Structure 1
């Protein structure tokens, strides 16, 4: 039975490439995992352990081969593409190592992009929300600038504001500080911690930086497609 506090629940989740062929390769092996509202969790593990594959499945960008993924209590494995896209846009925010900002657009328009994809021309409320988020990340005075005029750390803050503009229940971050210097990386991660406290969304961060992972309240280690440790093991029950 799902807990109403569960944002994400995986039960027996497997992911294989080329299933049913001589080239079949299983990358994720029967994962059970729960993330609850307000959790700040690091996903760690060596290169090739399946972290990116897991993030793509959790983000509804890819489908599991077996098992089930529940997002806000809704089973997703058998959803069609339209339903998955709608749920992803409503419930999940993404922050990547590379910002994927549109350089020709203003900072404000980059933040508004998920809402424009959802319902076209932004409303006055949308614009007010986006400006408020830019203020939250310390970039209120940069709304009219082009994205490519900002530093790497500032661009990552824009990407965080963009990820939050849909008020997601789950924020996924894939090596969000990987291209930043140590001082900037710490300031960006402090922003994640503050957002997690103030917005109450579940945050899952893939990182190789032990300083960042140790500052998360929960840390999950993935090795060869299996969870080998979970500091929040009490949550990791199906």
Structure 2
């Protein structure tokens, strides 16, 4: 797992169709070949309707392809049952969405602990320590007892990132995570993703419509009409987003 060249995800001729066998059958993805390695910091861009959300659902094992294969950590997943897929997703993937989906009745610390509660029940001291460390890293240690409604949008998204990292995933999938934030706050949230990418070597794939943010990534995949139109690598990209004041 320490090998930075180890593919976290590998897609081979991946296709996805809806309404199969019906007159309105529609193929959304037309045979995607793609590999994402440990430590890669990647943007997925493309116009509305290009298939980004469909692809992201497949990458996150939230949906199954119609044809082709998706390998997660070297394991073929297409024929896995729901229980195995759930276990693979829980172990290897962290999700951050445009809407943070924090639980309003829980405080910040318990929201971050939620993935461990789901997996193990009552969190132990080690889990609480890990959650506190993550909150410290996103600059929210002093807000552990606050409810999400008492935080700004940017702060809530930082809590969501800390929550996604609780399981120490190999891959972070982020769907428009800065879509509801102003430019300065978005840049700060983006910097948090980069911080964890560099600190832990987890692969990060971010769907974004913001060209300023995608320009700071090491790799940009452009999806158009269900096909990869371009896949540009710029390893060691030194472009910096502006940090919040």
Same fold (TM > 0.5): yes
2:134 alignment counterpart: 133
1:236 alignment counterpart: none
1:62 alignment counterpart: 63
- The aligned length equals 232
Does residue 1:117 correspond to 2:118, yes or no? yes
1:80 alignment counterpart: 81
- C-alpha deviation, 1:232, in angstroms: 3.1
- C-alpha deviation, 1:4, in angstroms: 6.1
Higher relative contact order (CA 8 A, sep 6+): 1
Matches within 5 A, 1:87-102: 87-102=88-103
Structure 1: give runs of 5+ residues left out of the alignment: 234-238
1:148 alignment counterpart: 149
- C-alpha deviation, 1:6, in angstroms: 0.4
2:241 alignment counterpart: none
2:184 alignment counterpart: 183
Is the Cα contact below 8 Å between 2:98 and 2:178 reproduced in 1?
yes
Equivalent residue of 1:29, what SS? strand
- C-alpha deviation, 1:10, in angstroms: 0.2
TM-score calculated relative to the size of structure 1: 0.95
- Structure 1 segments, 4+ long, off by >3 Å, are none
Does residue 1:47 correspond to 2:39, yes or no? no
Q: Deviations over 1:195-232 (max 9, x none)?
A: 11011000000000000000000000000000000013
1:165 alignment counterpart: 166
Structure 2: give runs of 5+ residues left out of the alignment: 235-245
Is the Cα contact below 8 Å between 1:104 and 1:148 reproduced in 2?
no
1:33 alignment counterpart: 34
Is the Cα contact below 8 Å between 1:7 and 1:36 reproduced in 2?
yes
Alignment root-mean-square deviation, CA: 1.3
Is the Cα contact below 8 Å between 2:5 and 2:38 reproduced in 1?
no
